[in-house]
Chains A and B, each alone.
Chain A
Amino acid sequence: MGMPGQADDHQWSQQHLSHYVEGELRPRARRRLDRHARDCVDCGRGIRAMRALVYAVQGLDGLAGVRAPATIFDRARLAGPGGSPPSPQA
C-alpha cells in the first residue's frame, strides 16, 4: 500500500477473489490481481482462504447414503390420475 492506485487495487482484488478462484477473470484482470497479490499479504491469504472455503464446502457430503422417505409420493397419489387437469397450452 502507499503508492497511488494501490488502495484501489486492494479493494478491487478483495471483491474479485471468488471470480479469481473460479477462473472467471479475463487475462488482463487476472494479471492485475496476480500482480497485487504478490505484494499484498491480505490478498495472498484471501486467495488461499477462498480456495479453502470452496474446497471445504465441496466436502459437505455428510448426507451420502441418505434415502428419500417412502412417503415421498403420498400426496401425488392422493391427488389421483393427472393430479390436476393438464394445461391445454402445454
Chain B
Amino acid sequence: MAPSGGPPAPDPADVQPAPDPAETEASLVARAQAGDVSAFERLSGAYADRLFMLLLRLLGDRGEAEDVAQEVMLRAWQGIARFRCQSSYFTWLYRIAVNEANRALEKRARRPDGVSIGAGELQLPASPVDDPSRQAENSELRRALGQALNQLPPALRTAIVLRDVEGLSTQEAAEIAGVSQAAFKSRLHQARLRVRAAIGDEMLVTTGG
C-alpha cells in the first residue's frame, strides 16, 4: 500500500501503457490472419517507418515510395494468410517491399522518359569537423555515391542497400533478396566494385577514409 502523503499518482494520460501481453507478434499475426485489419496495422505499423526509408533508398523518389509503400501493405494484407512464421514478420514484409520496389524500377525502366532516382534522398551525415573544405569534400562524395548507386541495376542496388546501408546480416539480407547467401555475396561484391570504379579510389581514399 502506498504511504499517505507520498508523491501524487501519475496522470494516466502521461504514462506509456504497458505492452499488452496478448499483443505479441505471434498473436497479432494470428489475429491478422483471421481478418482483423487493426491487428495487421499494429503488426505492420511497427516496421512502417523503416520500410518507407528502405523504399526511399531503393527508389529515390518520395512520391513513388509512398505509392509503393501502400502497395506493399496491400500485398502483405492480401498474403498474410500465407505467412508461416518460418521467417520473422519483418523479413517477410521487407521481402515484399524489395519485390515491389524492383517491380516499380522495372516499370520505370520501360518508360520512354525513364527518370533516374533522385540521389538527394541519399545523404551522408554532416562532417563532425567544422571544416568547410572537408564538408565540401563530403558533399562531393555524397553526390558521387548517390549517382553511383543510382546507376546500379536494381539487384545490385538492393544488395548494397540491405547490407551496407541497412546493416542487415548477410543471411537476413539474402533471405529478403530471395537468393542464396553465396549469390547475395556475389551481388554485394559486384555492387561495391562498380561503385568503387564509378567514384574512383582517389576520392574514396582522400574523402571517405
Interface residues of A (CB under 8 A from B): 17-19, 22, 24, 45-46, 48-63, 66-69, 71-77, 79, 81-84, 86-87, 89-90
Contact = CB atoms under 8 A, between A and B. Distances in A.
Contacts of A74: 70
Contacts of B80: 83, 86
B71 interface: yes
A58 B164 contact: yes
A52 B52 contact: no
Interface string B165-209: 101000000000000000001001100110110010100110111
A68 B174 CA distance: 25
Chain B contact residues, majority secondary structure: helix
Instruction: List 10 tightest A-B contacts by C-beta distance, closest first.
Output: A62-B123, A86-B81, A52-B208, A68-B48, A83-B78, A68-B52, A49-B201, A76-B77, A18-B189, A83-B77
Given A53-B204, A69-B66, A86-B33, A62 B125 contact: yes
Interface in B137-174: 141, 145, 149, 160, 164-165, 167
A71 B74 CA distance: 12
A56 B121 contact: no
Contact of B52 (A50, A69, A75): A69
23 contacts: A18-B188, A18-B189, A18-B192, A45-B201, A49-B201, A54-B164, A56-B124, A56-B207, A57-B165, A58-B165, A63-B53, A63-B56, A67-B52, A68-B48, A73-B37, A75-B71, A79-B78, A82-B81, A86-B33, A86-B81, A86-B82, A87-B82, A89-B82
Contact of B70 (A22, A51, A56, A72): A72
Contacts of B82: 86-87, 89-90
Contacts of A24: 185
Interface residues of B, number: 56
Contact of A79 (B45, B74, B205): B74
Contacts of A83: 74, 77-80
Given A53-B195, A62-B123, A73-B41, A90 B81 contact: yes
Contacts of B122: 60, 62
A20 to B, nearest CB: 10
B107 interface: no
A83 to B, nearest CB: 4
A46 B74 CA distance: 45
A69 B48 CA distance: 9
B145 A60 contact: yes
B117 interface: no
B73 interface: yes
A48 B37 contact: no
A57 B195 contact: yes
Contacts of B121: 62-63
